[in-house]
Structure 1
């Protein structure tokens, strides 16, 4: 399966945004700190997510990003697709030219696996993930860690 860090980071950032966007827009700087993802990389990802209509940018003081749809309307497969990723278990990218420009012996097997993964990810929304206690626990821990770091930075 070729799911690179681009797809993983996009899902992580979108889940962070969904978790924190209840009160106000969320800055990419805040997401970068909580998720340990480069700010410039997040900017690239969010440019694609914005073009795909998944997030909306809010300008000015107190600005940042918000989900453009409710979290139950955004599934994980759509996020991965929005950042130009594909969930593909084949060597040929699904083209069927894996062996001498023809399908290899196991082409159908890997195509079936790719479809199962895509169907699985399409069946999970951000809201589904947000409802999991483990997700909430990790997000709370990350928030506490960021607060502790901020306090330590203020100390002389």
Structure 2
């Protein structure tokens, strides 16, 4: 899966906002300086984040942005989806009955990549901004096991 700069920068900026807000608005220029992201690019991202109801804007002197709710209640997947970043590893268009092949069929590895997309979505939905800024991401790692096939020579305890 390719996560573009749009998704990565949105998550970086939201984590910065969560860390530095302390209940008062944070100016985008401050986030831009700390995260080394273009201010004009951040303005575009925050317009989408505001429409996605993840941040609130405060106008006037001392204005800036605030999280719309607690950092622990904002999932990383919410941030990525708010900036129109699809979470998928297939080449197929989301919701389209057509596949990714020139013949409109699905490639032989489609189910593999679709499964990966679901795992990524599950992981990003399990991590909040609060987890990121408090250093709890490693605790959220999901271990996926496949019980359908076992390598030769490995038996279940019940075998």
> Shorter-chain TM-score: which interval?
0.7 to 0.9
Q: Give the match's secondary structure for 1:65.
A: strand
Give unmatched runs, 5+ long, in structure 2: 138-159
Equivalences for residues 126-141 of structure 1 within 5 A? 126-132=129-135
Q: State which drifts further: 17-26 or 106-115.
A: 17-26
Give unmatched runs, 5+ long, in structure 1: 135-156
Give me the TM-score of the superposition, normalised by structure 1: 0.82
Change over 3 Å in CA distance of 1:23–1:68 after alignment to 2: closer
Distance 1:39 1:10 in 2: 12
Q: Give the match's secondary structure for 2:66.
A: strand
The answer to whether the aligner puts 1:17 opposite 2:20 as a matched pair is no
Distance 1:84 1:43 in 2: 15
Paired residues, number: 134
Residue of structure 2 equivalent to 1:70: 70
Give me the TM-score of the superposition, normalised by structure 2: 0.81
Residue deviations 1:30-68 (CA, integer Å, cap 9, x gap): 000000000000000000000000000001111100000
Change over 3 Å in CA distance of 1:81–1:133 after alignment to 2: closer
Residue of structure 1 equivalent to 2:107: 104
Change over 3 Å in CA distance of 1:133–1:90 after alignment to 2: closer
Residue deviations 1:85-104 (CA, integer Å, cap 9, x gap): 01111112344511210111
Change over 3 Å in CA distance of 1:15–1:101 after alignment to 2: same
Residue of structure 2 equivalent to 1:34: 34
Distance 1:116 1:27 in 2: 35
Larger RCO (CA under 8 A, 6+ residues apart): 1
Structure 1 ranges of 4+ moved more than 2 A:
93-96
Could you tell me how far 1:2 is from its partner in structure 2?
A: 2.5
CA RMSD of aligned residues (A): 1.5
Residue of structure 1 equivalent to 2:147: none
- Which structure carries more helix by proportion? 1
